[in-house]
Each structure stands twice: as structure tokens, then as C-alpha cells.
Structure 1
């Protein structure tokens, strides 16, 4: 099917049509001169809304293999496209863990049949157990875009150092969620006034900040590339700012939920707000939003963690941590009110640069890989908007600002209602 997209504003910072308001003609999956569109072509008028290269998320959990009751690749792709993401760098916390070449190849085979691109990450340690290092060179050759133990923070400093040294050989990227599990092994939420008033065990920000500092010191020693994934505290922001000022090749991401909620939102004991990292104070949230706008934080992650009802509909201390995120990441990010071109930079350009992926620029003759969005449009996120197989979203019933209108990728136009 061919399409004429009318009255769209292009956001492609390094592309030739950046900030141009124009019509886009997509013929046989490629961007073509709109003057060549026949009169019978299917049209979609965006009334000045925006179009950028398709977005990429780093850190979604796929559910396949091993947890298909939570999410399969089909529902993951549907949720991703509804949220504007045409590419996903999925974490390796599957069963079996994606810690070898066959696991990487399995993920890539799934990508071939899906309407989104799956970019597999390989585990740093066997079974994400934090003990024995994996064959990262083999996984890199097979197509792994980065290496991480995903939701399992790397605890052993020696393992982390060796991983950083290992990937230097091919300019690879190590991703780690900073958390010292020994500081708060039974923590349930951010340690502060709210945790005390609710009688819940706290997770001090120190547990994160110790590992941020450790990993930055190891990065300085090894000269490698590091993404500190889903930082959550103001002190972590400051440590990363200092590291960048020293010229370290450090990047940071923030979970979309931490841009929207704070620990005070847990007053109702909503288990869908039991997250990793935990929601922190209003001051921490403010620091995260500001850091994103000035570039200290590079990326926003959906932290998409589908979980079955049996894991979430429990008393708060017994519920697992994690929430859906793909469909609401853009709206949560939009809370910071970045300029539209900054949105495209954060969601489309920086993730690809971090993963050494080519940016699909919007220009004549290029394959169309596009996300359409309106930062000003308000909408109510309801249960009907959930495309995931799981239902654990804390955003249900909330009025959000900033809506994804649709995507075009792999020859398919998907429009959101």
C-alpha cells in the first residue's frame, strides 16, 4: 500500500529535511517525491504534527523465550508500535538467558518476521548470575548490539572491569543498572519520609550511587563505553555530570516512570508502582527532568517489564517489581516539556548512536522508518489502550499530554485511534 502523508513537520536533526513542513509520499516502502503521488493514493492529513525517524527503546523485556505468558513477540511489537517504537534493544533476562550466540540468533530470527526491529543484547555473565563472563565476541559477531545483565545489577567489580576491557576490542557497549543489592536486600521503595510513614522497607539512594561511582572509576581505568541504565537519584546525576566533564565515554538513561511519578504516589500501595529502580523523591525527579533537558541524561527507557496478575495483584511487599512502559514512555518524557526536536534526538537519534546503529534519515529514496506524534495532544490512557499481554500499568485512567499518532515501518502504516 502507498500513502501520502499531508502537512507533516519533519524532525530529523542530521537529515536534509529537518524542520520542513511538507507532504510525504511513501511508495513501495520508500520515501518518494510527493509530486509523483497519483490522485488515488491513500491519504493521511497530520495537520502540522511531527514525524521523526522511528524511535528505538533500550531496555524492554521481551518475555520470549521462557515467559510467553507475560509477553510474546507479537504483543511486544504491538505495544512498541503503539508507543512509537519501531526498534527495541531487548534485555537478556529470558529463559534460557540470552548469553550465547544461539540466543542472539534466535532473537534476530524473530525480528525478521515482526513489524519492528529487535536488537538483541547479550548477557555479561552466564545466566546473568554475576559470576562467569560470557563469550561476548561471539555474540557481537552474531549481532548483539550491547552487553548487560539487564535487570540484574552487576555486583562484582572484577567482572565489571573485565567486561569493560573485553568490549573495547570491538567498540562495544556495556549497560549496567547501578544498584548495590547488599545495601537494601529486602527494600521495597525509596528510603525517605514516605517509606517510614507507610511502614515499608526503604532502598536508600546510596545503594545506586555507590555503583555509579564504582562503574565510572572502572570506566576511567579501562577507557571503554558505558551506559548507566535507569539512574534515579540527584546525586547519580551529579556524578555522571562530573564524569562527562572529565571526558569519560559515559552515558545515562532514566526510566520513563521516574520522570512522571515520585515515592509519594505510593501512598495508595499500588503495586504497579513497585518498580526497579524505585520511584524517588520530588527533588530527585526534578533533577532527572533537568538533567534530561541539558543532556547529562542521554536516553529515556520504557523499562517495559510485563508481569502476570499473580505477580502484581498481591500485598505490596510480596508483589514483583516492574511495570509496562512502551505505550506511555513518550507521554512521560513529555512531562519535561522538551522542544520537539529534542524529543526526536532523545528517542530516535541517541539510542542508535549508543548502539552504533545507522539512523534512517527522512529523505528521498530512503526506506521509510517513521514515527508520527503530537506533543500537545491530550489523551486518557485506558485498559483498552494496553496492547501488551500483561496489564501491569500504573498509567491506566490518567490524562496524559503527548500522543503517538502512528508509525510506518517495514511497509506497514499503523495509526493509533
Structure 2
């Protein structure tokens, strides 16, 4: 396949073309020419005034569904949703059935995506079946291709277990991911604990349920001198704890989910169960702290927190609905809309592409001649309204249907394939 991208501004601080408007000619899986007004015959041509191009984006921590929950999402549909949202790689959570807790399951995910448009990067489970009891053979999964280790949406509450995991991965410079939530403190909570939850008569999930676990995890990472990634932070104090840990030189990184940057707990006054997510939508003060954490580099990544669920799990009275929302197709547009004036396009690309690869020891991708063509093409000023036709996931549990957004993914290129967004 030959592919030509015309008149796109390069957003890549590692590229000699950063900030320049160029043409890019791609042959197979390589960028063979970069310049002005290239004279090339191409199978596909992409040109849109104002378009930008960057290294392909990576989303860490996606619920893929397959195996076991294919009615919610399978590997083909999640790959399609990822490409539509500008991601050329996604890291798959281990919470499937069977769980990704051995080298066979890791190899299954690696084999499916080999040579395809979207790379699926397995996250291996820390404990068998993600049940928090018996530690897995992480070194075997590492050799099979797991990029990190986590129990995914099941936060590890056992202090000894998380410490052993941190010590285990040191042998191969691995990284442990934990999404902090002390479920004993969040018991039966439905949303952020605060004025809004009180007024609605809903049981709340206090910031404390996140803050205490973040503090514990940082202490244990310091003790083990190991690498820790705290996923989907949502509270002000948690961000401060990570900021202090980084100032001490600890090997700690963290991420935030796009939805938690755009909406606060007031969005739940209409009891829209699609806004029922974990971590919960917190206060406006928490959102401001998250934005400041992104700006000063405390928060390294932005992710979709993509959790596909069938209608039977979401179209229920609010207390009975499951937690989770899809987000792959809308992550860039949502953060581009709500972080305008907070992060530049260069800084957004850093959170979406550069930092994920650096933190998780992935192959570096850059926009230069001779490099592998792993690219995302996007337009930061394109206005559009998210609707059912934009959903590529098998599930449709999104609170953004009918919402106008600013910023659109135009297409992606990876592994010798290309996708151009038809909308």
C-alpha cells in the first residue's frame, strides 16, 4: 500500500519536521519521503486543510471483552473503535474470562493483532483470575509480550500482594499498574461523595477511598524501589501525592481518564447511568487539580477508560446500573474541547503518544524519513456532534451522544494499513 498525506502540520518534538507543514509519502510500513508538494502516485491520498499528524496514539488500560465478554466487545470491534479514535495501539486489561493471567492468554492477544492496523498490547494479571489471592507467573507473561501487570478494574487491596508484585517485576524492569479504590471505604457508593450525592440521597464514594490507596502504593513502591503506574486518578489529594513522589525521584507515573477531565458530579443530577463510571466524576475543584497536574507534568497520560457494557447492564435504575462508559472514539475530541487553553496540541500528543511509549518501554515512534509509519492524523478545530453512527464499539454506553465536540480524528496509519474516518 502506498499512502500520501498532504499538507499536514507535524506535531512531534522528536522530529526534525516538528511544527512544519509537509507531505508524507508512505510505502508499505515506512515513511519514505517527507517534503513540500511531493510528486507521488498513491493508492490513497489524505488531504484536509488544517490537518495535523503525530506519532500514533496509545491508550493504556482498555476493557477488550474478548475472551468471555464478546457480546460487549470483541477484538475486532475494539480495534475499529480504537482506530476511529486515533489510537494505533491499546493496552488490554486482564479482566476477561479467562483472565489474562498466563502466557497462553498473552500470546492470544499478541497473535490476533500481529500485522494489523491496531496493536493490542496485553496487560498481564498480577493475581490468578484477578481475584487478589495467588500471584501469577509474571516473568513468563513478560517473555510472552505483556507490557505491564495489573488486576485491572480490581484494585489490589492486599498490602503484601502489591509489594510482592512490585518486587517481582524488578527482575525485568517491569511496571505494576493499580487503579486505586479502597472498596471498604467506597462500600455501595454510587457516585462522588459530596454536596450533590447528599442532595440526591445517594451513597457516596469519598476521595479518601482513592487517596489512602495512592498513599499506600507510593510508600510500597518507594520501599521496593520499583516502578508503579497509578491509573485513572480523580482526586486532588491523589495528584498532590504523586507530585510529591516525583519530587523525591520515585519511579511513579499516573494517568487520568478523559471523562473525569470534562464532567463533574453535577452531571449526575438527571441520573444518567452512562455518567456512572469508576473512578466517579468528582467535584469541580478536583477537575481543576487534574488539569494543573497535566499542565505541570505530574499526570503523564490521558486515557479513554473504555468500559463497554450491554444495555441490560446500563439501562436500569441508577443504583442498579453497572459502572462504565465507552470512550475510545471520543477521547481526543473530549479533551481537546475541555482542555483548550490548558494544554497545547504538542502537549496533548505528549500525553497520548510520547509518554505511554516511554513509560511502558514501547518502541519509539517518530515522524521522519525511513521511520516506521505509525501515525495519527487529526484536525484540532473541526466541529462535530457525536452520534450513533460514530460508534464502532459493540456497546453504546456513552454519555456523549448528541454532544458537540471540537477536534476530530481524520485517520491512522500503522503496520502497512490505513484507516480514513468516513465522517
TM-score (norm 2): 0.96
1:219-238 correspondence to structure 2 within 5 Å: 219-238=221-240
CA displacement 1:237-291 (0-9 Å, x = unmatched): 1111111111111101001110111100001100111101100001101111121
- 2:255 alignment counterpart: 253
When structure 1 is superposed on structure 2, of 123-132 and 357-366 the one drifting more is 357-366
- 1:355 alignment counterpart: 360
Q: CA shift at 1:39, angstroms?
A: 4.9
Q: CA shift at 1:155, angstroms?
A: 0.3
Residue 114 of structure 2 aligns to a residue whose secondary structure is helix
What residue ranges of structure 2 are gaps of 5+ in the alignment? none
Paired residues of 1:205 and 1:233 also in contact (CA < 8 A): yes
Residue 155 of structure 1 aligns to a residue whose secondary structure is coil
What residue ranges of structure 1 are gaps of 5+ in the alignment? none
Q: Equivalents in 2 of 1:216, 1:114: separation in Å?
A: 37
Pairing partner for 1:406 from 404, 411, 420: 411
1:363–1:186 distance in 2 versus 1, CA, 3 Å: same
Q: CA shift at 1:43, angstroms?
A: 2.7
Q: CA shift at 1:367, angstroms?
A: 2.1
Q: Equivalents in 1 of 2:46, 2:102: separation in Å?
A: 44
- 1:342 alignment counterpart: 347
Residue 14 of structure 2 aligns to a residue whose secondary structure is coil
Q: Equivalents in 2 of 1:34, 1:161: separation in Å?
A: 48
Paired residues of 1:381 and 1:397 also in contact (CA < 8 A): yes
1:183-262 correspondence to structure 2 within 5 Å: 183-262=185-264
1:298 equivalenced with 2:303 (yes/no): no
- 2:21 alignment counterpart: 21
Q: Equivalents in 2 of 1:207, 1:57: separation in Å?
A: 25
Residue 345 of structure 1 aligns to a residue whose secondary structure is helix
1:34–1:18 distance in 2 versus 1, CA, 3 Å: closer
Q: CA shift at 1:40, angstroms?
A: 6.4
Paired residues of 2:53 and 2:376 also in contact (CA < 8 A): yes
Residue 366 of structure 1 aligns to a residue whose secondary structure is coil
1:225–1:38 distance in 2 versus 1, CA, 3 Å: same
Paired residues of 2:117 and 2:418 also in contact (CA < 8 A): no
Residue 154 of structure 2 aligns to a residue whose secondary structure is coil
1:34–1:309 distance in 2 versus 1, CA, 3 Å: same
Q: Equivalents in 2 of 1:28, 1:126: separation in Å?
A: 41
Paired residues of 2:376 and 2:412 also in contact (CA < 8 A): yes
1:40–1:261 distance in 2 versus 1, CA, 3 Å: closer
Q: Equivalents in 2 of 1:287, 1:377: separation in Å?
A: 28
Q: CA shift at 1:377, angstroms?
A: 1.7
Paired residues of 1:293 and 1:336 also in contact (CA < 8 A): no
- 1:282 alignment counterpart: 284
1:368 equivalenced with 2:373 (yes/no): yes
Q: Equivalents in 1 of 2:44, 2:397: separation in Å?
A: 37
Q: CA shift at 1:67, angstroms?
A: 0.2
Paired residues of 1:78 and 1:387 also in contact (CA < 8 A): yes
Q: Equivalents in 1 of 2:148, 2:121: separation in Å?
A: 9
1:235–1:34 distance in 2 versus 1, CA, 3 Å: closer
1:124–1:42 distance in 2 versus 1, CA, 3 Å: closer
Q: CA shift at 1:15, angstroms?
A: 2.4
- 1:153 alignment counterpart: 155
Q: CA shift at 1:34, angstroms?
A: 5.0
Q: Equivalents in 2 of 1:41, 1:158: separation in Å?
A: 56
TM-score (norm 1): 0.98
Pairing partner for 1:118 from 117, 120, 138: 120
Residue 33 of structure 1 aligns to a residue whose secondary structure is strand
Paired residues of 1:74 and 1:114 also in contact (CA < 8 A): no
Residue 32 of structure 1 aligns to a residue whose secondary structure is strand
CA displacement 1:130-155 (0-9 Å, x = unmatched): 11111111110111000000000000
Paired residues of 1:63 and 1:94 also in contact (CA < 8 A): yes
**Structural RMSD (CA):** 1.3
Q: Equivalents in 2 of 1:42, 1:161: separation in Å?
A: 51
Q: CA shift at 1:19, angstroms?
A: 1.8
